[in-house]
C-alpha cells in the first residue's frame, strides 16, 4: 500500500452534538420557536422584563450552542452561565417548569431531529428545567 498514509488512532476529531444536529441554524430554530410560545404564555412571559424577547432569545440560543459544542460566544460575552443565579429573581415553580417544557417540546418536535438526537436533547432539557425550580408548588 505505497502512498497510503495510515491514520493513527485518536487523531480524527469526532463531531460535536452541535455539529451533528446542524449547528447554529438548528439551535436558532429551536429557540425561536420556543420563544414564540413564551411570548403568548401567561406564566412565562412576565418573567421577561424586556418588551422585546429578541435579546433573551439570542442569549438562550448562544448558551445552548456553547453547551452542545458550538462557539463559546455566550461565555465570551457573559461569563459563566450561572443559570440558577440568573433565574433566582423569578418564581420558578412546577407550573413554570411545565409551561417551559410544553413550549420546548413543541419547538423540539418541529426540528425533525433523529430519534437519538431528539432523546439526548430532551433528556438535557427536562433535567435543566427541573434544576431551575426554586419555589415549591
Tens digit of pLDDT for each residue in 83-117?
Answer: 666 666 778 899 999 999 999 999 999 999 999 99
Q: Which three cell numbers stand for residue 95?
A: 407550573
Domains of the chain: 17-132 (1.10.490.10)
Query: What pLDDT shows up at residue 12?
Result: 54
| Closest-CA residue to 125 (of 91, 111, 136) | 111
pTM of the model: 0.85
Whole-number Cα distances in Å, 99 to 10, 48, 62, 94: 43, 14, 22, 9
Angle between helices 115-132 and 94-111 (to 10 degrees): 160
10's grid cell: 485518536
Residue 15 and residue 93: Cα distance in Å, rounded?
A: 36
Greatest alpha-carbon span in the chain: 70
Residue 112, Ramachandran bin (φ over 0: left; ψ between -120 and 50: alpha; else beta):
left
Least confident piece of the model among 44-48, 75-79, 125-129: 75-79
Q: How far apart are CA 103 and CA 98, in angstroms?
A: 9
Amino acid at each position: 500500500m505505497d502512498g497510503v498514509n495510515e491514520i493513527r488512532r485518536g487523531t480524527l476529531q469526532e463531531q460535536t452534538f452541535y455539529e451533528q444536529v446542524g449547528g447554529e441554524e438548528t439551535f436558532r430554530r429551536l429557540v425561536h420557536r420556543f420563544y414564540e410560545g413564551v411570548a403568548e404564555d401567561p406564566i412565562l412571559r412576565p418573567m421577561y422584563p424586556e418588551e422585546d424577547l429578541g435579546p433573551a432569545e439570542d442569549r438562550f440560543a448562544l448558551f445552548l450552542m456553547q453547551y452542545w459544542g458550538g462557539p463559546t460566544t455566550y461565555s465570551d460575552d457573559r461569563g459563566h452561565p450561572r443559570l440558577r443565579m440568573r433565574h433566582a429573581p423569578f418564581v420558578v415553580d412546577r407550573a413554570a417548569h411545565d409551561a417551559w417544557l410544553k413550549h420546548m417540546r413543541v419547538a423540539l418536535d418541529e426540528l425533525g431531529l433523529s430519534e437519538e438526537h431528539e432523546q439526548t436533547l430532551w433528556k438535557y432539557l427536562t433535567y435543566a428545567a427541573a434544576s431551575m425550580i426554586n419555589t415549591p408548588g
